Chains A and B, each alone.
Chain A
Amino acid sequence: MAVEIKVKGEVVTAYLSGDIDHHSAASMREEIDNTIDCNMPSLLVLDFGGVSFMDSSGIGLIMGRYRALQKLGAKLHITGASPQIAKVMKLAGMNKLALIN
């Protein structure tokens, strides 16, 4: 499975893995949105530790979730990004939307 979800109180962590491209992003989006709907978290952590590659489809994935969280008044954290992923995120200005570490 490309997304593994852990819920701890109001914090939902989504552990992503594999390549994130246009092909894989759709099913990831579905899984994350399902848990956002079910759990209404105050914080979503997207953990990229298991992600081997990401293109701008991943940026679309992050921005879409960011908008959904904003409606809930919830926050987004991004963690575990490799240098390749961090480079794409930096180009897209993701640091303005989410705390990245």
Chain B
Amino acid sequence: MKIINKFTMNMYAKSANEGFARSCISAFAAQLDPTLEELNDIKTAVSEAVTNCIVHAYASKLGKIYITAEIIEENILRIKIRDTGCGIENIELALTPLYTTVGGERAGLGFAVMQSFMDDVKVTSRVGKGTTVTMKKKILPRITVNG
């Protein structure tokens, strides 16, 4: 797949950066002319993935989050969110809706949101090494009406 445009960023895994990451990706995605709903889907999915790095991957230390966003052929936005944190032992279990390893106020719906709001979500992880979440969404070209 040919990459048409790309940006990368990395930042401290601090909760204050959650909104910043959402804004950056949505500004980049804007060049695909998404609808408001598509843009909100992307922002919500990114928020979940970035939050997981902060809450889970680096629960006990300050690490970095590495984000890549690409526009690839056929109007597809591809987003990679990577951490070098604790990793996920059982990915299938982690993807299960309502599953959470943190009690209290986590809903266990982060991956469910990513999967339902994006077209494709892939998770690769190694315990002690880190996790990469790759998400894709095709932005449908708008039908333009004359006049």
Contact = CB atoms under 8 A, between A and B. Distances in A.
A36 interface: no
Q: In terms of DSSP, what is the predominant structure of the interface of chain B?
A: helix
Contacts of B55: 22
Interface residues of B, number: 25
A88 B22 CA distance: 16
A40 B126 CA distance: 47
Interface string A6-32: 000000000000010111010001000
Task: Place the interface of chain A in its size category.
Answer: 20 to 34
Interface in B80-137: 104-107, 109-110, 112-113, 116-117
B106 A88 contact: no
Contacts of B47: 21, 53, 55
Nearest to A83: B37
A53 B43 contact: yes
Contacts of B51: 21-22, 55, 57
Contacts of A91: 109, 112-113, 116
A25 B109 CA distance: 15
Contact of A56 (B40, B41, B54, B113): B113
A64 interface: yes
B48 A60 contact: no
B140 to A, nearest CB: 17
Instruction: Please list the 8 inter-chain residue pairs (A to B) with the smallest Cβ-Cβ separation, ordered nearest first.
Output: A23-B15, A60-B105, A59-B107, A84-B40, A55-B47, A56-B109, A60-B107, A22-B51
25 contacts: A21-B47, A21-B51, A22-B15, A22-B55, A23-B15, A29-B105, A55-B47, A55-B51, A55-B110, A56-B106, A56-B107, A56-B109, A56-B110, A57-B51, A57-B105, A59-B109, A60-B104, A60-B106, A64-B105, A83-B40, A84-B44, A88-B113, A91-B112, A91-B113, A92-B107
